Amino acid sequence: LGVIVGLLSTAIQGVGLTLQRKSHLLEEEKDEYEQRRPPYRRRRWQIGMGMFLLSNIVGSTIQITTLPLPVLSTLQASGLVFNSICAAVILKEPFTRYSLFGTVLVAGGAILIGIYGSMNEPSHTLNELLNLLARPHFIVWLIGTAVMVLMSIVAAWAVKRFSARQSTRTRLLRGMFFGFVSGVLSAHCLLLAKSAVELLVRTIVDRRNQFDRWQSWMILLGLIFLALSQLWYLHRGLKLCSTSVLYPFVFCIYNIIAIIDGLIYFNQTSRLTPLHAGLVAVGTVILLAGVLALSWR
């Protein structure tokens, strides 16, 4: 069941993202005198966003509860392959040897990162989570990622502001900046989602309400804020560059930041062996090489 749901959800997710991109492209092709509509008023974009959200919420929930990590990682990689296929079929993008080579690299890198970069962690109480959150190393890391996000947003603005013309390369660069922001926010969103689930598990298993303090609700509010923010910046990126380039890049950034989040927040550094760290690094290089091949296509 988990594998079937996983394959279906990754395929639906790929179609959903591609439909959103198609909607943006059709809107850009309109003549200057034609009225342009915002995305939420376009039927194709509405369907695409609905498919993307449904596949993420329902698919991820079933997969996480029914599948082991190696299978999960392979299914995530298959999603990147579906994404390339959808770009070729729906967007009529050329599927060249660079496309094939890049897709294979992206899938291989994703599998390496997923298998060797994730570690299980027992559930925590609210007090334990707050103690982990207050550790200086994690605060410094959060500030560092916030600075990177702000720099990426400023860089995207600067590229638009100071470029003489909006060429394809300029749009690609701006889209990648927005994709970077989306990937970072997605990883932090995952961390808060894990924390919220842990509080829920503790509430059910220990029969001690972990949501009777304001900090618990701040975690939920932060989760909602980050979820909406990462969707917004993914949307901004989709308006500027192809899903076959943007989504693998976002996936890579998301996985790297999520791994570092877990290592620092849950104090797992000692549990990641040098071999596994090396394999994650190799997977990252392979995945980024695949993204580069897709962008050169």
CB of 21 within 8 A of CB of 242?
A: yes
pLDDT, the chain, mean: 80
Q: pLDDT band for position 76 (50/70/90)?
A: low
Q: Tell me the CA end-to-end span of the chain in Å, nearest whole number.
A: 36
Cα–Cα distance, 286 to 283 (Å, whole number):
5
Residues of the chain with pLDDT > 90: what percent? 12
Please tell me which of 20-34, 48-62, 221-235, 238-252 the model is most confident about, judged by mean pLDDT.
221-235
**pTM, to two decimals:** 0.81
Q: Which residue has the tokens 């062996």?
A: 273
Looking at beta carbons, which pairs linking 149-158 to residues 24 or more positions away fall under 8 Å?
149/180, 149/181, 149/184, 149/185, 152/177, 152/178, 152/180, 152/181, 153/177, 153/181
CB of 51 within 8 A of CB of 19?
A: yes
Predicted local confidence at residue 160, as pLDDT: 85
Predicted local confidence at residue 121, as pLDDT: 63
Predicted local confidence at residue 145, as pLDDT: 94
Question: Residue by residue, what is the 3-state secondary structure of 33-95?
Answer: CCCCCCHHHCHHHHHHHHHHHHHHHHHHHHHHHHCCHHHHHHHHHHHHHHHHHHHHHCCCCCC
Q: pLDDT band for position 152 (50/70/90)?
A: very high
Tens of pLDDT, residue by residue over 15-70, are: 888 888 888 888 877 776 777 788 878 888 899 888 888 887 777 666 655 555 55
In Å, how far are 133, 184, 204 from 250, measured between CA atoms?
25, 8, 34
Q: Which residue has the tokens 């939920």?
A: 220
Cα–Cα distance, 147 to 34 (Å, whole number):
40
CB of 27 within 8 A of CB of 81?
A: no
Tens of pLDDT, residue by residue over 89-121, are: 888 877 778 778 888 887 788 778 777 776 666
Predicted local confidence at residue 122, as pLDDT: 62
pLDDT higher than 70, residue 297: no
